[in-house]
Amino acid sequence: MQISVVVPCMNEAESIPHLVERLASSVKPYGDQAEILLVDDGSTDETWSAIQTAREFCAQLRGLRLSANRGHQVALTAGLEAAKGERIFMLDADLQDPPELLGDMMVMMDRGYDVVYGTRRKREGETVFKRVTAWAFYRVLNTMSDVDIPRDTGDFRLVSRKALTAVLSMPERARFVRGMFAWVGFRQIGIEYVRAPRESGETKYPLRKMVRFAIDAMTAFSTKPLKFATRMSFASLGFSGLMMIYVLHSLIVYQTAPGWASIVLVVSLFAGVQLMTLGILGEYIGRLYIEAKNRPLYFVSEDTCRAEVLPLQEMV
């Protein structure tokens, strides 16, 4: 198998026919040396039957259905683990990332790169809010993380088997796929593209999921937030030292009872700093707990490939 295309899909029934059509024409040059893997991430709409219908028109298509919704990054991981190709192309189901870029990415890979990622030069049809938060996300992530993760770059990329094997050998539960590819190294290069608006349906990343994703991204690749907590505690110690001088001075010079304002100010400031520090610790401890449980990331409930093989095995 020369190339595998991996697409995580959650409630993307409307996008699938067009997605498969465009993917099929992008992988046409590779014939039966290409496979298209659609991972249904516990959809509650008709996504799975749309995948099955599309299989009637596209022989290279394989569907994988997860037993429940596990999130974009885990669904992507499931697809990557199932992929058989020498080169693996990943993209979103909503056609925001053009499948036609595969050709250009293949050319770059022929030149010896192991990871060719797509960098968004421009985003079309996305709200100002999404653009601003995404812009801030990639910048904050870069300052926070110890790994140099390319900016404005999602999971849209072509990777070699070598790079994929390296990423799949990483045992962590907290999957931040683009960060993991950045971490493994090898020769990497980005190509710029314009991110199109969503073809149909709406975003599966509401603010709540975006915040989760951002916290996951930062904690998975850095312990800088913990250092930030330490730095905050030094800052607050310094502040309380100054405060103490002020309080003693007022007591001696003016002989006043300590003021209400300063007490409230100090108490609320330190309560805030302490809670935040505890919160940061909690994020890491929670993650240690999840990692320690070492549960499987996902379960496959249906696999169109396996369904065909099973009757044969039963005959034996």
Which stretches of the chain bind Mg ion, using CB under 5 A? 92, 94, 96
The length of the chain in residues reads 316
**Cβ-based neighbour number of residue 123 at 10 Å:** 17
Rounded to a whole number of angstroms, the minimum distance from the CB of residue 79 to ligand UDP is 9
Place of tokens 């053009």: 98
Interaction residues for ligand UDP, span 195-214 (CB under 6 A):
203-205
Rounded to a whole number of angstroms, the minimum distance from the CB of residue 97 to Mg ion is 8
Query: Applying CB under 6 A, does 186 fall inside the site for ligand UDP?
Result: no
Two tokens at 78? Answer: 């499931």
Stretch that binds ligand UDP, among 86-94, 145-153, 160-168, 171-179 (CB under 6 A): 86-94
Stretch that binds ligand UDP, among 9-17, 27-35, 159-167, 175-183 (CB under 6 A): 9-17
Task: Decide: 116 and 105 in contact? Cβ < 8 Å.
Answer: yes
Stretch that binds ligand UDP, among 88-96, 167-175, 234-242, 300-308 (CB under 6 A): 88-96
The listed partner (ligand UDP, Mg ion, none) that binds 71, CB under 5 to 8 Å by sort, is ligand UDP
Query: Applying CB under 6 A, does 95 fall inside the site for ligand UDP?
Result: no
Query: Applying CB under 6 A, does 8 fall inside the site for ligand UDP?
Result: yes
* Distances from the Cα of 134 to the Cα of 92, 131, 167, 215, angstroms: 16, 5, 24, 13
51 — phi, psi (to 5°)? -65, -45
Place of tokens 């999602």: 154
Stretch that binds ligand UDP, among 20-28, 91-99, 226-234, 255-263 (CB under 6 A): 91-99
| Helices within 56-192 (DSSP H only) | 72-82, 102-110, 128-144, 161-168, 177-184
Beta-carbon contacts of 263 under 8 Å, excluding residues fewer than 6 positions away, are: none
**Cβ-based neighbour number of residue 206 at 10 Å:** 9
Rounded to a whole number of angstroms, the minimum distance from the CB of residue 12 to Mg ion is 10
- One symbol per residue from 37 to 76: x for binding ligand UDP (CB under 6 A), - otherwise; what is it? ----x---------------------------x-xx--x-
**Quick check: helix, strand or coil at residue 63?**
strand
Binding residues for ligand UDP, rule: CB under 6 A, are: 8-10, 12, 41, 69, 71-72, 75, 92-94, 96, 203-205
